[in-house]
Amino acid sequence: MYMRKSIAIISLFAAFAACAPKATDPAADSSDFVCITDKVPDAILEIRYFGTYNFVGTRIDGYQAPTALLTKEAADSLKAVSDDAIALGYRLKIYDAYRPQCAVDHFMRWGADFADTLMKPYFYPALTKDVLFPRGYIAEKSGHTRGSTVDLTLFDMTTEKELDMGGTFDWFGTESHPDYCGNPETQEWKEVPGGITPEQFRNRMILRRLMLSHGFKAMDVEWWHFTLNNEPYPDTYFTFPVTLIGNE
């Protein structure tokens, strides 16, 4: 028992050490970041990487609080998105935003361990781990780490449920692509055997229109993923942990 506790404590300290950036490193500077809920108080947070219900199955390195951070510029644009969403009867639900580099490194270690398939039935049942990197589901460098990318969905205030998008966050597969069963440019649904319904495609497009109309761009493999077009730090991969930071 003592040995197991010792190992657990050592692992915990190792995780914190992995996200202990040098104070003099510009990538450790969080001064241009805000908590999303300080800018968008109506946002609902479900920070998957702070818990264990994610594709790895454990809390991810660097997530020290169940909060979401963005650069001030991205947060301002997200506030405009939220205002429009509320007018339509929706709220934003955030799964992830800024992601420290040590979290991405955690993903890389997990991806290299082909024996660890704990969460395969829930997030990638039709794929093997060796294809996750080549197909772009996991990358050595993530736009999230630059601080102006957010993963989110819409919450219907009438039904008090998430909008049905025909798939879940972090599902690895073509079913998550924005052009699955439709054309995002024309917003036209197309029938695919076993595919998503017209309503599910329409719901994805509602989110997409809201985000694109306020300066975000979409990703071609994830309907929930958006990055600010004019992100302020296009070449900086930040290292400070996800934790509560002061108001602007």
What are residue 44's phi and psi, to 5 degrees?
-100, 130
Considering 46, 73, 162, 222, which one is annotated as catalytic?
222
Those residues with Cβ within 8 angstroms of residue 55's Cβ, 6 or more apart along the chain or in another chain: 119, 122, 123, 124, 170, 172
The closest of 184, 231, 226, 198 to 92, measured between CA atoms, is: 226
Task: Quote the tokens at residue 239.
Answer: 């290292």
Q: Is 159 exposed, middle or buried (0-12, 13-18, 19+ CB in 10 A)?
A: exposed
160 labelled catalytic: no
Task: Give the CA angle between residues 147, 152, 158 to the nearest 5°.
Answer: 145
Report d(CA 185, CA 115) in Å as an integer: 40
- The residues annotated with a catalytic role in the active site are 222
